[in-house]
Structure 1
Amino acid sequence: MLRTLAGIEREMGQILVDGEPINEAPPARRMRLLSFLPATRSLVWPIAAQDVIALGLPSPDPARIVELVELLELGNLAARPVNQLSTGERSRVLLARALAARPRLMLLDEPLSNLDPYWVLRTLQILRGEADTSGCTVLASVHDLSQIMAFDRALLVDRGGIVMDGSPAVALESPEFSTAFRVEKAGSAWRISDKF
């Protein structure tokens, strides 16, 4: 779904961000409309982390790169080639690239994967701050049930469509959630549902 919204896997239809069709926007404008963080964190080129962040900018902005390096605590990694970073470190660099242009819509595929507990919480804090200060929309896929409550709204996608749309608390208690993931609440924990 995220790849389709990003215009990467689109067979038909039109995707609008703030009323603007993304497929008609010039590259610099498109960067301000949306950013996409793929699930893969694989980067094979020996490009400095700060240069990868710069790829997310529609025009050179050294001050923005410095700001993002500080925000994501990448100072000691900024000059290192990304192909020499750990998966979690590459995740932070790619998140910085996604944040760079201050897009109206951020599409993040598993942004919390491969992060240690501090960086899971810090990433959620950064995303909340970005949404609150710039008014952007953050659409993120997560599979860790403990992280769903950090978001304002939950969309449950199953069998190629949205089967539930509501608050995270309602989503976690819904029969649609139990059916899609074959798990159910057992007090404050989860268990495999015996209904399937």
Structure 2
Amino acid sequence: MILSVENIRFAYNSHPVLDGVTFAVEKGNLLAILGVNGAGKSTLLKCLNRVLRPQGGSVLLGGNNLLRLPQDAIARRIGYVPQQHSQTRLTVYEAVLLGRRPHMGMTVSKADYTVVEETLQRMGLSDLALRPVSDLSGGEVQKVMLARAMAQSPKILLLDEPTSNLDLKNQIEVMGLIRSVVDRQGLMAVVAIHDLNLALRFADLFLFIRNHRVHGIATKNTVDAAMIEQVYGLEVTMTEVAGQQVVVPV
């Protein structure tokens, strides 16, 4: 299955933010959206699941244009983890159960409870199930939000800066968890992220946005310093450390 994004256009009050954004992601791939602050990374994610309605373009999955589907139908296909999370006194179990809402009838079914319990176990959150989300650390909260998105049984994960405000250990754990979910369950993920080195470590594809448009799309084998310099306006070099490509400002 392929997610095909074609010619997405969006503007705030006639101020263009995205202009003709086109790309595709296949099942089992993690795509990182990269660009300077204000480039439109978060806006693009919100356009993909119609939190914001684009002024033009299409988002195709399995022959369906997601932008024409009802919101609950979109939520059965896309799990979205925003950058900001509202404070809640819900328990971890209750928060993850909310992810089942697009699939629920009038009541919660046995199948819904089973999905939640399996998701908690898979994400290593079973021991925290009865803890209030508001009592958790930043890294734990991010894992709960990812688990809630996974409980939707989506085909696509959209994640907006999933490592922001996390320490180095939690950044690696959260991105590793996303990578593992994509690989194990054959999902596709689109992640807006600032940290180039985290992106290089975990992503398969790199979508660079500059001046409201796609500046370039690269793989691990084709991403280079020149592309990064053009997008960020900063001279860099790329080297290998412990088998990992890293970007170093010059």
TM range (shorter): 0.7 to 0.9
Q: Is this contact kept in 1: 2:49–2:74, CA < 8 A?
A: no
Contact 2:91 2:130 in 1 (8 A): yes
**Matching residue of 2:171:** 120
Q: 2:97 aligns with which of 54, 76, 79?
A: 54
1:9 partnered with 2:52: yes
The structure richer in helix per residue is: 1
Hey, which of these two has a bigger chunk of strand by percent? 2
Measure, in 2, the Cα distance between the counterparts of 1:100 and 1:115.
23
The gaps in structure 2 that reach 5 residues or longer are 1-43, 240-246
Contact 1:32 1:103 in 2 (8 A): yes
5+ residue gaps in structure 1? none
- Alignment CA distance shift 1:125-1:190 (3 Å): closer
Q: What pairs with 1:108-147 in structure 2 (closer than 5 Å)?
A: 108-147=159-198
1:103 Cα deviation from its structure 2 partner: 1.0
Q: Percent identity?
A: 25
- CA distance in structure 2 between the aligned counterparts of 1:27 and 1:2, rounded to whole angstroms: 15
Conserved in 2, the CA contact under 8 Å of 1:64 and 1:100?
Answer: yes
1:155 maps to 2:203: no
Task: Compare relative contact order (CA 8 Å, sep 6+) and give the higher one, 1 or 2.
Answer: 2
Shift of residue 155 of structure 1? 0.4
Q: Deviations over 1:97-156 (max 9, x none)?
A: 111122111111112223344443333333233323433211111211211222111101
Counterpart for residue 20 of structure 1: 64
Query: Number of paired residues?
Result: 190
Q: Per the alignment, do residues 178 and 66 of structure 1 end up closer, same or farther by CA in structure 2, a change over 3 Å counting?
A: same
The answer for the alignment partner of 1:70 in structure 2 is 121
CA distance in 1, matches of 2:46, 2:141: 20
Is contact 2:215-2:231 (8 Å) kept? no
**Taking structure 1 as reference, are residues 139 and 23 closer, same or farther at Cα in structure 2, changes over 3 Å only?**
same
Contact between 2:123 and 2:143, CA under 8 Å: does it hold in 1? Answer: yes
Letter in 2 for 1:66: E
Aligned to 2:235: 184
Preserved CA contact (<8 Å) 2:236 2:248: yes
CA distance in 2, matches of 1:36, 1:50: 18
RMSD between aligned residues: 2.3
1:89 to 140, 148, 160: 140
The answer to whether the Cα contact below 8 Å between 2:204 and 2:219 also exists between their aligned partners in 1 is: yes
Q: Distance in 2 between matches of 1:116 and 1:65?
A: 27
SS of structure 1 residue aligned to 2:235: strand
Provide the secondary structure at the position in 2 that maps to 1:130.
helix
- The 8 Å contact of residues 120 and 126 in structure 2, kept in 1 or not, is answered as yes
Matched AA of 1:20: N
2:82 corresponds, among 35, 38, 47, to: 38
TM-score by length of 1: 0.83
Q: Distance in 2 between matches of 1:170 and 1:11?
A: 30
Query: Contact 2:59/2:65 (CA < 8 Å) preserved in 1?
Result: yes
Closer/same/farther in 2, CA of residues 76 and 131 from structure 1, 3 Å limit = closer
Question: Is 1:104 matched up with 2:162?
Answer: no
CA distance in 1, matches of 2:47, 2:78: 13
